[in-house]
Structure 1
Amino acid sequence: MDSMAQRPDRDSQIFIIGCGISGIGAAQKLIKHGFHNVRIIEATARSGGRIRTGRLGDNIIEIGANWIHGPSKENPVFRLACDYQLLDKESMSEENQAIDIGGHPLFVPNWFTSSGRKLGPETMGPALEFFMTLLERSQQFHSTGGEPLPSVGEFIKAEAERLAPEEWKEDRDNFAVRMAMINTLLKLECCVSGTHTMDDVGLGAFGMYTTLPGLDCTFPGGYEGLTDHMMKELPRDIVLYNKPVKCIHWNYTKNGPNTGGTSFPVTIECVNGETFAADHVIVTVPLGYMKKHQNTFLSPSFPLHKLHSIQRMGFGTNNKIFVEFEQPFWDEDCELIYLVWEDETHLTDVVSDLKMSWIRKLTGFTVLKPTERFGHVLCGWIAGQESEYMESLSELEVLQTVTQLLRIFTGNPTIMPRKLLRSQWFHEPYSCGSYSYVAKGCSGYDIDNLAEPLPLKGSNSKPLQVLFAGEATHRSFFSTVHGALLSGWREAERLISHHTSASGSFSSKL
């Protein structure tokens, strides 16, 4: 009799690669269901993955994930945050949960232009409304089909030129600045999608992303409070830190290392030469890392359809630049600052000269609120190759460029930020960017392919050797923390139900 069959199901050796919220969530669920040989292998010295809280002086800031998107009962991150009492009363209120913003927060904006003017809502409001209408239309082709162009960017640019209201054109100055505003919004949308250009985002698949109701909220004590609380519920030494995985050898027929003669189908080989034998491995590494290491991460390699989906799916960079000021130059009620380049009336969301003009991709700033907690801190948003180039500059160079930018837009030559801190997600070796998006030519099948366990159905090998979780494997919540968490739970459930159906002994635990 095969020695594998003699081990009780709950003795299965399960390894989870990556200690982000997806991996932590999977481990929690498996341990609650009686599996006791669960370990997490983490490449870095910390847990949390792309949830990372930092400090700018005395202020808590989010270097990674920023908001709970759609904080309502359907959102598992919101439910956990409430259970752990990590949110303020307003964020948990019924009113906040009921507001449906369609994924775009209703921030009170200030508009500054490159000629040093501050414009009002009577000029800029119509451009914002017009752009949001086009964006909503671009999300509808997922359900209706028949998309007229391959990408969101091409669609919005063509429709903006075609449908710009006639009365705008009669007021030439306002028309130019409104078109420049639409260009700013197009660049801002690159930050939302985590892409270099909206020309890379597939029009037909764009509407697959599903928003949840609720007014997006933040963690007063930092997002890491969530993963810290989750980690406290796990056994103390469950995580093996500082162990980057080099290769997962699956369909492994020889006896694995240090296994007392038991045969295991999977061997995990770490960069430092250590190996671990497993029955099941749940891979939760970011898609950016998978793209970079797609040829070496699995042996045998990914099946072709899975490899093609890894290549087709989009994964980009969205970075933050935090700047602190002695005094605000924005209105007291302002929550969002738009920067409008008046010479950008021809719609394009990339810059022509990366080295000279990368700063033009910085579309605006969110104001960190409340002021009592943060002082006067702005968070600038920049995506794409311009953002990746920004990472390669020194902090001083970034500070000088941002200072110059703000002096141009405010018309105030004395503005000087006190401190600056920026994220550098592209150069993080184990994420290689920020989050996934549905690229041109992608469909829901690509996300399903990413999530498909190995070996494939119909194989005679031991089932569920390598499973896949992480935000990029969730069909409707890709790019979000709740998508990552749900995908980790999904793969844990897959193993739980597999072992439940394989032996009745588990039914009492469910």
Structure 2
Amino acid sequence: FKLASRRRLYNARVLQADNIGDKQRNPDVDAARQNTQIVVVGAGLPGLSAAQHLLYNGFRRTVILEATDRYGGRINTQRFGDTYCELGAKWVKIDGSQDSMYELLRNTEGLDKQIKQPDRATYLQDGSHINPAMVELIDTLFRQLCRGFKVSERVKTGGDLHSLDNVMNYFRTESDRIIGTSFQQPKDQLAAREIFQSLFKEFGSILGCCLEYVNIEHITKCPVQQELRPLYVPTGLDNVVDDLIQNMDKAQLQTGKPVGQIQWTPAPMKSVGCLDGSLYNADHIICTLPLGVLKSFAGVLFRPTLPLDKMLAIRNLGFGNPLKIYLSYKKPIGRWLKGSLRPLGTLLNPSAEQQPERNWTQQVVEISQVPSSQHVLEVHVGGGYYEEIEKLPDDELLEQITGLLRRCVSNNLVPYPQELLRSNWSTSACYLGGRPYFSTINSARDVQRLAAPLGEKSPGLLFAGDATSLNGFGTIDAARSSGIREAQRIIDFYLKRAHFG
């Protein structure tokens, strides 16, 4: 009943768009709605949002081509253990602005949404708990650093500009200054330094890269900071994606269609060719391919080759690989885990005092129980080794993480997990990474260059995705709003042409 009601509402809106009052009707616009062929490459959030906006506005000859056998892109919910786990985007920022993910979530009927409850993780150093007051103080100071605190002042005064070469240098320099002025005892200074290091890794886990690669401009132009009280969907964020596509038929949303060539000029007819030999003619093409795919294949995918400034923008922007790891246990984990843990120092690398050993568990930020689950843990990883961890054999990964857990809770009887679930964004040929970031060789102008449409008389080739918007850069909000932005660009083109003749 609920689905049928939504469909009736959608169809009523489409009819309303098609049956505008006589004063507003224009034969040229009506003809464009009926005849314009639009191909959207990619069925992630930007592609689905673009197509939905076009269909809602009457552009019925809109087709989405998706390389994989699923839609949703970086929204990827998997049933695992006794709960639903997100291999991609998980949290939704509470933001009432137009075209935000929150607006879409709020308008999805019958879907349970919950606010993340505050959960102060316990920091463990050499088997003992660190004073929560120290943790809270450092967390507050670090959040100021994440907003670019002191950056503009340092630029104006001509201070140590070397520390602004990249985000890690900036974090280290400022944290050393804070530690030196705030803590006097060597033991406290060591604890503070390790807490800061854990927070650095957490920041890196959001972007999926080492912070030495990240431009300081990222935190001044596009602050990266997790919301304290975001929303999440216990039954999976992909429910929102399902709501986006419920009024699309199989001809409009085609999966298993990897694109091999995009012919974007000369005018008038463009085309998109798939690897299965099928060819789709188009008046407009909206490209929503992940930045990792563009980096690897833009040189051979587009005909003719993209302009130099756009190719440079693609090359300059960074593309990280946020990693998700989930562990499912047979019995409730509350029997041996009483809250979220953040291991520090020798807990992460017990052999460090003799000879440092390269081990992915050194990059573990936090181990926490998945909300609404009694049997599933999430392991947060930051700081590097992402691709290496994706390729690590299951038995080796489980052995190492179980060893870490046993050290953290001082219990050698902590069981091995029954199942393992992890993301594989960097090794998937259809993504080759998971999230864009400002590299040390790019600037905000590269984002604008990537987003700029191509075409002499009309926007023939358009670009959408989380790397094409400074507002919310790298987030699902940017992914959604950029898709709507490019769809509206096409609509505005026909409205203006009809108005000015």
**Do both proteins adopt the same fold according to a TM-score greater than 0.5, normalized to the shorter chain?**
yes
2:142 to 106, 131, 155: 131
Query: Is structure 2 residue 79 aligned with structure 1 residue 64?
Result: no
Q: CA deviation at 1:352?
A: 7.9
Query: Is structure 2 residue 287 aligned with structure 1 residue 283?
Result: yes
- Partner SS state of residue 359, structure 2: helix
CA contact (8 A) 1:142 1:207 kept: no
Query: Is structure 2 residue 239 aligned with structure 1 residue 240?
Result: no
Other-structure match for 2:16: none
1:313 to 314, 317, 324: 317
Note the residue ranges of structure 1 that are not aligned, 5 or more in a row. Answer: 97-104, 254-262, 346-350, 456-460
Structure 2 CA distance for partners of 1:167 and 1:159, relative to 1, 3 Å: closer
Q: Could you report, residue by residue, the CA deviation over 1:259-292 in whole angstroms, capped at 9, with x for unpaired residues?
A: xxxx51x121212232221111000111111111
Other-structure match for 2:386: 387
Structure 2 CA distance for partners of 1:486 and 1:82, relative to 1, 3 Å: same
Letter in 2 for 1:24: L
Structure 2 CA distance for partners of 1:29 and 1:279, relative to 1, 3 Å: same
1:25 to 49, 57, 77: 49
Query: Is structure 2 residue 166 aligned with structure 1 residue 155?
Result: no
Counterpart CA distance in 1 for 2:152 and 2:211 is 16
Letter in 1 for 2:176: E
**Bigger shift: 396-405 or 22-31?**
396-405
Counterpart CA distance in 2 for 1:502 and 1:143 is 49
Other-structure match for 1:117: 128
Counterpart CA distance in 2 for 1:43 and 1:467 is 18
Counterpart CA distance in 2 for 1:90 and 1:206 is 28
- Partner SS state of residue 60, structure 1: strand
Structure 2 CA distance for partners of 1:106 and 1:199, relative to 1, 3 Å: farther
Query: Is structure 2 residue 447 aligned with structure 1 residue 443?
Result: no
**Bigger shift: 206-215 or 473-482?**
206-215
CA contact (8 A) 1:268 1:278 kept: yes
CA contact (8 A) 2:348 2:404 kept: no
- Partner SS state of residue 39, structure 2: strand
Query: Is structure 2 residue 190 aligned with structure 1 residue 184?
Result: no
Other-structure match for 1:498: 493
Structure 2 CA distance for partners of 1:367 and 1:207, relative to 1, 3 Å: farther
- Partner SS state of residue 231, structure 2: coil
Letter in 2 for 1:295: G
Counterpart CA distance in 1 for 2:471 and 2:496 is 28
1:8 to 28, 31, 36: 31
Letter in 2 for 1:368: V
Q: CA deviation at 1:152?
A: 1.3
CA contact (8 A) 2:99 2:480 kept: no
Other-structure match for 1:399: 398
Structure 2 CA distance for partners of 1:400 and 1:471, relative to 1, 3 Å: same
Structure 2 CA distance for partners of 1:86 and 1:177, relative to 1, 3 Å: farther
Counterpart CA distance in 2 for 1:132 and 1:74 is 27
Query: Is structure 2 residue 307 aligned with structure 1 residue 303?
Result: yes
Structure 2 CA distance for partners of 1:139 and 1:481, relative to 1, 3 Å: farther
2:188 to 161, 170, 174: 174
Q: CA deviation at 1:471?
A: 0.7
Q: CA deviation at 1:385?
A: 4.4
CA contact (8 A) 1:284 1:468 kept: yes
Letter in 2 for 1:369: P
Query: Is structure 2 residue 54 aligned with structure 1 residue 55?
Result: no
1:292 to 291, 296, 315: 296
Q: CA deviation at 1:247?
A: 1.5
Query: Is structure 2 residue 330 aligned with structure 1 residue 328?
Result: no
Q: CA deviation at 1:443?
A: 1.9
- Partner SS state of residue 376, structure 2: strand
Other-structure match for 1:408: 407
**Bigger shift: 30-39 or 134-143?**
134-143
- Partner SS state of residue 226, structure 1: helix
Q: CA deviation at 1:207?
A: 2.2
Query: Is structure 2 residue 238 aligned with structure 1 residue 224?
Result: yes
Query: Is structure 2 residue 109 aligned with structure 1 residue 85?
Result: yes
Counterpart CA distance in 2 for 1:505 and 1:46 is 42
Structure 2 CA distance for partners of 1:214 and 1:315, relative to 1, 3 Å: same
CA contact (8 A) 2:337 2:409 kept: no
Q: Could you report, residue by residue, the CA deviation over 1:281-332 in whole angstroms, capped at 9, with x for unpaired residues?
A: 0001111111111211211111111111111111111111112343326775
Pairwise mapping of residues 38-53 of structure 1 onto structure 2 (< 5 A)?
Answer: 38-53=62-77
Other-structure match for 1:483: 478
Q: CA deviation at 1:380?
A: 1.2
Q: CA deviation at 1:58?
A: 3.0
Letter in 2 for 1:453: P
Other-structure match for 2:365: 363
- Partner SS state of residue 156, structure 1: helix
- Percent identity among equivalent residues? 27
Counterpart CA distance in 2 for 1:129 and 1:445 is 31
Other-structure match for 1:209: 222
Structure 2 CA distance for partners of 1:18 and 1:394, relative to 1, 3 Å: same
Structure 2 CA distance for partners of 1:214 and 1:494, relative to 1, 3 Å: farther
Counterpart CA distance in 1 for 2:303 and 2:356 is 41
Structure 2 CA distance for partners of 1:444 and 1:167, relative to 1, 3 Å: closer
CA contact (8 A) 1:139 1:207 kept: no
Other-structure match for 1:250: 264
Letter in 2 for 1:32: Y
CA contact (8 A) 2:41 2:288 kept: yes
Q: Could you report, residue by residue, the CA deviation over 1:332-391 in whole angstroms, capped at 9, with x for unpaired residues?
A: 5x4x4322125999xxxxx986xx322211211343223xxx114221122464111011
1:337 to 337, 341, 344: 341
CA contact (8 A) 1:290 1:310 kept: yes
CA contact (8 A) 2:426 2:432 kept: yes
Other-structure match for 1:102: none
Q: CA deviation at 1:182?
A: 1.1
Note the residue ranges of structure 2 that are not aligned, 5 or more in a row. Answer: 1-27, 350-354
